[in-house]
Amino acid sequence: MKKLTGLFLAAAMSLGLLAGCAGPAANSPAASGAPAENSGTPAGSSEPIKFTVSTDGTVRAEYVDRFVQYVEEASNGRYTGEAYAPSSLGTAADMAQMVQLGTLDFCLNDDMSIDGILDGALGFAWLPGLVADYEEADAYYNQGWIGQQVAAIMEANNIIRISSFCNGFRQVGNLKHEITEMSDLRGLKIRTPSVASVVSFYEKCGAMPVMIATPEVLSALQTGTVDGLDNCVFNYIVQGLTDVVTYITELNYCYSGGCFVASPSFWGKLSAEDQEMFRTCAQKASDDFTEYFRTTTEELTQKGIDEGQWVVSQPSEAMKTELQGIYQAIWEESVPRRDHGRHHQRLLQGVKPP
């Protein structure tokens, strides 16, 4: 699949950077990273500058608190943060909109939730088969060109992405039977996020994707409205599903990330030095969360196996081959038809993204 990288970058550009650019102009302080004219702490002021921050769900709340602590320590008290209770300001999408509008200074959020207010502009980041493991996820997404493209699209839409953390590989969990062959997926009703490539993936696998709100997933599984769900194992904790899901297949077909984001109205008032300080503190808190996320996922998975709660399976070799064909079909569909010839030529020449 790495030979498709040039095609993938074309998809990123066509799906993202040309979509809904309603944000700041390229030469604005928020877009360029340059400080506003009157930036930083007012001369002679001894009062700390306050900033607000929040997140959705109690699991992430600790890492919002760490971000506040890191900033206060790094700034020697020049900045002090007010962390609102998780979800007290609404949904993840609500908080992303508040950041856009400048009514919330920072938010810890996952990229898919932010994409919900960007009309799918970030969808290229979740094309299936893009990364194979955590090493590639860190190299390409969390610290590489995928994250850079995601940040550029967010910035064009009035959101400043200042860190990156792990939100895991997506698996399929269900209540019906073990899934190791493509035929095992066919006909199953699977709850998916409203992400075009994820929906297309399950349709091409023969399943029936169902899009319902996160708070309704548990009830939908219990009543048989859906047979299973697409998510990372870690989020079974958040959704209260650890005692409900019976079979898990580690498809690892899609990786997603998350981030701290800042409001341009706050960000543009900071000096370049303070912007770097906030970025460093946000990434430090994000790295803490990534370590917790990955360790907890491994421990949770093993605990479910040891206690007989879950049967955890891998796709067969035949299913893996079929999945590769589905990946390529979705990648091809993601590039505008008029661009196919030019980008296939780039592939032949071995052109790769930065």
Residues 211-232 have a mean pLDDT of: 92
Query: Buried b vs exposed e over 113-152: b needs ≥16 C-beta within 10 Å?
Result: bbbbbbebbbbbbbbbbbbeebeebbebbbebbbbbbbbb
Residue whose pair of structure tokens reads 């206060």 in the numeric block: 72
Does the pLDDT value for residue 30 go beyond 60?
Answer: no
Tell me, what's the pLDDT at 333?
87
Same domain, 69 and 200: no
Domain range for residue 22? Answer: 2-37+46-167+258-302
Over residues 99-122, the pLDDT tens digits come to 999 999 999 999 999 999 999 999
Tell me, what's the pLDDT at 100?
96
Tell me, what's the pLDDT at 239?
79
Over residues 151-164, the pLDDT tens digits come to 999 999 999 999 99
Six token digits for residue 55: 């997140």
Same domain, 111 and 244: no
Residue 267, in any domain of the structure = yes
**306 vs 344: which has the higher pLDDT:** 306
Does the pLDDT value for residue 338 go beyond 80?
Answer: no
**45 vs 17: which has the higher pLDDT:** 45
How far is CA 331 from each of CA 6, 139, 317, 327, rounded to the nearest angstrom?
A: 11, 20, 21, 6
Does the pLDDT value for residue 348 go beyond 90?
Answer: no
Tell me, what's the pLDDT at 184?
97
Same domain, 297 and 321: no
Read off the pLDDT band of 73 (50, 70, 90): very high
Tell me, what's the pLDDT at 92?
92
**What secondary structure does DSSP assign to 2-28, as a single string?**
GGGHHHHHHHHIIIIITS---S--TTS
Residues 46-64 have a mean pLDDT of: 92
Same domain, 153 and 56: yes
Tell me, what's the pLDDT at 45?
54
Over residues 195-215, the pLDDT tens digits come to 999 999 999 999 999 998 888
Does the pLDDT value for residue 22 go beyond 90?
Answer: no
Q: How high does pLDDT run on average in the chain?
A: 85
Same domain, 109 and 246: no
Same domain, 69 and 183: no
Tell me, what's the pLDDT at 219?
92
CATH code, 125? 3.40.190.170
Read off the pLDDT band of 336 (50, 70, 90): low
The residue type of 203 is: E
Read off the pLDDT band of 12 (50, 70, 90): very low
Tell me, what's the pLDDT at 215?
83
Tell me, what's the pLDDT at 89?
94
Residue whose pair of structure tokens reads 């209260």 in the numeric block: 240
The residue type of 345 is: Q
Q: Count how many domains the chain has.
A: 2
Comparing CA positions, the residue from 235, 238, 234, 218 lying closest to residue 226 is: 218
Residue 181, in any domain of the structure = yes
Tell me, what's the pLDDT at 236?
82
